[in-house]
Amino acid sequence: MYRYFKQFGSAIQFMHENGFAHNDIKLNNVLIFKNTGDEKRSYCKITDFGLSGVSYLKGIGVIKKHNYCGTKYYMSPGKPK
């Protein structure tokens, strides 16, 4: 299980280092592939980049979004101010 969590964290880090935000991380969007013959070949993937977007641009900095996006039941309550 540690292997999958490490791969998941590395994938998120890679996206953020390259200026992208997924905006819809949830269990339904993480796929785990288990290779029963060789455990070292098992891996996880992050899917569904439909709501992803640019979150950082060199020279400009962090880009703030002013709208809600994501799956309704996984979002925090309240409205942005």
38 has catalytic annotation: no
Distance of CA 6 to the CA centre of its chain: 13
Q: Who's near 34: CB < 8 A, 6+ residues apart? A: 42
Annotated catalytic residue, options 21, 22, 24, 46:
24
- Asked if residue 24 lies in contact with residue 75, where contact means CB atoms within 8 angstroms, the answer is no
- Asked if residue 43 lies in contact with residue 11, where contact means CB atoms within 8 angstroms, the answer is no
Catalytic residue ranges: 24
